[in-house]
Amino acid sequence: MINVASYLGKGAVGGHIVRPEPVGQLAAQFALRILNGERASDLPVTKVASPLIFEWPALQRWGISENKLPPGSEIMFRNPTVWEQYRAYILAFIAAIVIQSALISWLLYEHWRRQRAEILARDTMSELTHVNRMATAGQLSASIAHEIRQPLAGIVANAQAALRWLEKANVEEVREGLKGILGDGLRAGDIITHLRAMFKSDELKKAHVDINKLVLSVLALARIDLLKQGIELQTRLDDRIPEILGNQVQLQQVILNLVMNAIESMSSSQTRVLRIKSALSQTNKVHVSIEDTGMGIKQSDLARLFQPMFTTKERGMGMGLSICQSIIEKHAGRIWVSPGAHGGSIFQFELPTIADND
């Protein structure tokens, strides 16, 4: 059954619908042809197409599924779905949720990574502090041993001489007393020897060390102090320098001590710049310099700066630079200090490369 378009919107389900628009267009074409001189009897009989059109409300009312309609059917009066109406907004909302989720995940990851870095930094600082204490104890024991060995040696020598004299005098009580002095003196010497050997590490565990990575690891540890003091950091690390053979923890301790000394020296300076450089020297050794813009070092103190127990700090022990020198010398290197070009000091040390060790 063919219906006309006027039935639509009045409860008809639909079917083949004749629309007035194509009928009117065809009638106009025929009228123009007749006006142009053609006879009406010559005009062909033309069938106007009646497409399949259905009403959406009627389909819903009668429970007719859209999938059951013939192919090519057109559905009218269908209310657009939420997706059809707000697709752009929905897509934008989903994109915003995805982006925000990604940002939150990234922030959580960065927070976790920073916490992990802080834990590693604290562990490293704790390890370096322990090494520093052990090295300080070793230096102190060496100083104590040096100071006490001399009087002990005198006690032992005098006791031995007295025993020889008493061999002739045959004074038993005096001999026993002098034997006690001798025994106590020898026992004290053994105690000091064992104390020094306990803290002394003659055999270092050495491995290949990238000095640039070591400098950067120390700067990461000292980053908070640099920020608190408002110190500008300038680094010029030559990435072409070869690796060295050394103990990473002890060399890290040297660099950390020098950097912390530089930071402390600039506490009362107006201009605060820390310059750290690494390069290959003319003698084919790895050269590191740490320059500050602090108050500098008096010329009269330069010769004693690396001596044990000498310090220019109010509360210093005078062991830090002595330990640094001991570590560098154990690595077959050398360390020295010179005045900066614009004030401050430049601490420098050189270490042999792996090729030199071979």
* CATH architecture observed for domain 207-357: 2-Layer Sandwich (3.30)
State pLDDT tens for residues 192-229.
Answer: 664 555 455 545 578 899 999 999 988 887 887 888 88
Q: What percent of the chain has pLDDT over 90?
A: 20
Evaluate if residue 316 carries a pLDDT over 50. Answer: no
Residues of the chain with CATH 3.30.565.10: 207-357
Evaluate if residue 292 carries a pLDDT over 70. Answer: yes
Say what the pLDDT of residue 253 is: 83
DSSP at 37: T
Cβ(262)–Cβ(229) below 8 Å: no
Mean pLDDT of 288-307: 80
Say what the pLDDT of residue 334 is: 93
Say what the pLDDT of residue 146 is: 52
Evaluate if residue 1 carries a pLDDT over 50. Answer: no
Task: Let me know the angle formed at the C-alpha of 115 by 109 and 121, rounded to the nearest 5 degrees.
Answer: 135
pLDDT band at 278, cuts 50/70/90? very high
